[in-house]
């Protein structure tokens, strides 16, 4: 079976579980075809401000919600290889979100996003099933063939099932992950902060080259043969205990860091890990930040940036 057909089947199962059985899929398991982040929970604009984009053309980035990717394109990056262990991110980012950016101007993008992504959990007050179906259908012609095929199937399945069950769950409440306030990415994603930033993204995105690989981050060295001006990992390294074991140590990841650093071009920059301040969200943090390891000075080759808001940090390596 084609991967896209598997993605469609898995998405239909998530929708069926929620609509017919009242059972929403767990959000902290990303491997396979899972619910995806609708937008980033990081202050992307703040950490990107620590680098210059002059002479930077190529990047490697986690796909995630696309906010990292679109922020980079807005800053002038022309080619981005994206990767994610969650196979649905491809359809959301390279399909739906990219289509929204191509179709809508700044105000329209914000209005539609607030309408379809900023919902009040499970009671779909902002948008009716008919209106959501019509908004999504209008985006199909702005997608490439594979993504269009995926969304055509999902839109019609969701419409038919919810009409039959007489429900009005927001599709993105079912298949997306949401933190309760769409203002967050608007003020913290470089492409959404101002109309000018968004317009720059819109004019750059038409010629930007975006690729996608469905892979575990730690398998990247065996799958890449390009060099990059910028590498951006978000907080993906929080989710490596499946391969490195529980409470893994700096020495366990050091060979991987070195391999990734060898993929940096001259003057390249590696945003290695976004570390959430404890009061911001309760996620596990990278073991290399435990006090004993910092005392051992393992991180001496890296910069630790203090991010605005929430005491978040970014671990950075300049090539
Ligand atoms: C770590 S999550 C958290 C959200 C993130 N802070 C943001 O702003 O987008 C980001 C993405 O990493 C992906 N991911 C998680 N573990 C991964 C892994 N081991 N390898 C590759 N991608 C992974 C998830 O599927 C998700 O799309």
- From 84, 93, 276, 314, the mutation candidate for ligand 1 (largest count of ligand atoms within 8 A of CB) is 84
How many A from CA of 52 to the centre of ligand 1?
Answer: 25
Determine the Cα angle at 175 with ends 169 and 176, to 5°.
100
Residues with CB under 6 A from ligand 1: 30, 36-37, 40-42, 62, 64-65, 84-86, 89, 216-217, 234-236, 239-240
| Residue 55, Ramachandran bin (φ over 0: left; ψ between -120 and 50: alpha; else beta) | left
CA distance 15 to 25: 9
Residue 281's pLDDT band, with cuts at 50, 70 and 90, is very low
Please report the beta strands in the chain, taking only residues with DSSP state E, as ranges in sequence order. 36-37, 58-62, 79-84, 176-177, 209-214, 228-232, 264-275, 303-306, 313-318
pLDDT for 122: 45
Give distance in angstroms: CA of 17 to centre of ligand 1: 23
Query: How much is the pLDDT for 275?
Result: 84
Please say whether the dihedral angle defined by the alpha carbons of residues 16, 19, 24 and 29, taken in this order, is positive or negative. positive
Of 163-172, 188-197, 284-293, where does mean pLDDT reach its minimum? Answer: 284-293
Q: Is the dihedral of CA 36, 95, 39, 59 positive or negative?
A: positive
Q: Per-residue DSSP letters for 109-135?
A: HHHHHHHHHS-BTTB--S--HHHHHHH
Cα Dmax for the chain:
61
Distance 240 CA to ligand 1 centre (A): 10
- Closest to 209 (Cα-Cα) out of 59, 28, 50, 96: 59
Out of 28, 43, 85, 188, mutate this one to test ligand 1's pocket (max ligand atoms within 8 Å of CB): namely 85
Tokens of residue 44, six digits: 């992307």
Per-residue pLDDT of 49-97, as tens digits, reads 999 999 999 999 999 999 999 999 999 999 999 999 999 999 999 999 9
Q: Which residues on adjacent β-strands are paired with residue 58?
A: 79
The model carries a pTM of 0.94
Please write the tens of the pLDDT for every residue from 177-223. Answer: 987 788 889 999 999 999 999 999 999 999 999 999 999 999 999 99
Query: Which residue's CA is the closest to the ligand 1 atom numbered 11?
Result: 64
For tokens 């003020």, the residue is 187
Domains of the chain by residue range: 42-87+187-319
Identify the CA nearest to 312 among candidates 220, 234, 213, 203: 234
The predicted structure's pLDDT at residue 40: 95
Three-state SS for 218-244 is HHHHHCCCCCEEEEECCCHHHHCHHHH
Measured CA to CA, the distance from residue 300 to residue 234 in angstroms comes to 20
Cα distance between residue 23 and residue 217, in whole Å: 29
Pocket test for ligand 1, best of 26, 46, 86 (most atoms within 8 A of CB): 86
**pLDDT tops 90 at residue 254:** no
Q: Which CATH superfamily is domain 42-87+187-319 in?
A: Vaccinia Virus protein VP39 (3.40.50.150)
Nearest CA to ligand 1 atom 7: 40
């Amino acid at each position: 079976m084609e991967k896209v057909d598997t993605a469609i089947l898995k998405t239909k199962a998530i929708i069926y579980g929620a609509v017919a059985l009242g059972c929403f899929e767990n959000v902290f398991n990303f491997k396979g075809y899972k619910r995806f982040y609708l937008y980033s929970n990081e202050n992307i604009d703040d950490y990107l401000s620590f680098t210059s984009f002059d002479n930077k053309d190529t990047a490697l980035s986690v796909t995630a919600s696309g906010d990292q990717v679109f922020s980079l394109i807005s800053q002038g990056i022309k080619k981005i290889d994206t990767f994610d262990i969650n196979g649905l991110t491809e359809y959301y980012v390279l399909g739906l979100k990219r289509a929204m950016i191509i179709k809508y101007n700044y105000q329209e993008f914000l209005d539609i996003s607030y309408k379809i992504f900023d919902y009040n959990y499970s009671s779909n007050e902002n948008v009716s099933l008919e209106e959501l179906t019509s908004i999504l259908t209008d985006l199909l012609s702005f997608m490439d063939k594979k993504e269009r095929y995926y969304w055509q199937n999902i839109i019609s399945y969701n419409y038919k099932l919810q009409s039959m069950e007489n429900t009005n769950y927001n599709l993105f409440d079912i298949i997306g992950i949401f933190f309760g306030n769409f203002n967050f990415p608007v003020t913290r994603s470089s492409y959404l902060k101002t109309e000018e930033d968004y317009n720059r993204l819109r004019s750059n995105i038409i010629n930007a080259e975006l690729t996608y690989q469905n892979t575990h981050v730690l398998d990247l060295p065996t799958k890449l043969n390009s060099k990059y001006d910028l590498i951006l990992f978000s907080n993906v390294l929080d989710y490596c205990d499946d391969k490195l074991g529980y409470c893994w140590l700096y020495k366990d990841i050091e060979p991987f860091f070195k391999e990734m650093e060898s993929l940096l071009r001259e003057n390249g920059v590696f945003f290695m890990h976004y570390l959430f301040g404890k009061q911001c969200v309760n996620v596990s943090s990278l073991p290399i930040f435990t006090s004993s390891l910092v005392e051992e000075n393992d991180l001496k080759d890296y910069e630790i940036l203090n991010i605005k808001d929430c005491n978040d940090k970014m671990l950075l390596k300049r090539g």
